[in-house]
Amino acid sequence: MTIKEAITKGMIMLKSNNIESPKLKSRLLLQYVLDEPRQYIIVYDKKEITKKQQWEYFINIEKLTKGIPLQHITHRQEFMKMDFFVDENTLIPRPDTEILVEEVIKIAKQKYNPKILDLCTGSGAIAISLKKYVPNSEIIGIDISEKAIEVANKNANKLNVDVKFIKSDLFEKLKKEKFDIIVSNPPYIKKEEIKKLSKEVQKEPELALDGGIDGLDFYRKITSQAIEYLKTESFLCFEIGYNQKNDVMQIIEDQQNYKNIYCKKDLYGYDRVIVAQVI
């Protein structure tokens, strides 16, 4: 079987199981199995692949048909032009979150040696990206999941950045210290909505998805508790669900400790980031 034949067969199998982007995923999976770049796959599409490579490829195609995310098979996801390790213990970093990171970078670059806290850090993608692009910053990442912390540390080592990761339920294990920026992409899916998500998303950790009955639990907790950990004139930055702008803004306004609240849209025009400054 040639490279081209394998990709075509894989694509047909994915398409017949209603898997999104079947052509792209079948190609990316073969790149992973062959450990070759995209250009190789294109140039040598008539090259025969071994029986062992065929077996590995179609075993993994079968996993994709069952809703296993491609990233959980390849353990790779690009984010902010870096290659992150991911597995089933963390949320897969998404392009939407780059909007949040880019906004925090803008804010951080206006401060001298900014101290930044990343809550619900997961794979560490936000914290590590901030350290890469704002090297004079001091960054702490927090997650309640021990396994997520292991993944975050693995990524910090892989990408050669100095970020401190702590296992904690939000601020619980944190010393009483003050930050210039607190950033979070918290769980924000309504509990009842999780079962309606795609098969792939449902394979991600529920802990990283479940935002409570109305999806707003973490925004309430973080907004109220963050005041004790933020300096005057410092910033609270959230990623939000596409339809949560008004609710999250109201939560922040109700605290009466924040000013200059604004929202930024993602590349698709959806509300995605909310920033507030401490009075």
**From the DSSP assignment, how many helices (H) and strands (E) are in the chain?**
11, 9
pLDDT digits (tens, 9 = 90+) for 139-164: 999 999 999 999 999 999 999 999 99
> Closest Cα to residue 276, out of 204, 224, 199?
224
Task: Decide: pTM greater than 0.85.
Answer: yes
Q: What gap in Å lies between CA 240 and CA 248, rounded to an integer?
A: 8
> Closest Cα to residue 130, out of 120, 122, 140?
140
Q: Which residue has the higher pLDDT, 201 or 102?
A: 102
pLDDT digits (tens, 9 = 90+) for 245-269: 999 999 999 999 999 999 999 989 9
| Parallel, antiparallel or unpaired: strands 271-278 and 230-239 | antiparallel
pLDDT digits (tens, 9 = 90+) for 30-41: 999 999 999 999
Taking a C-beta distance cutoff of 8 angstroms, is the pair 71, 95 a contact? no
Q: What is the DSSP letter of 209?
A: T
The stretch 102-119 carries a mean pLDDT of: 96
| Residue whose token pair is 């780059």 | 98
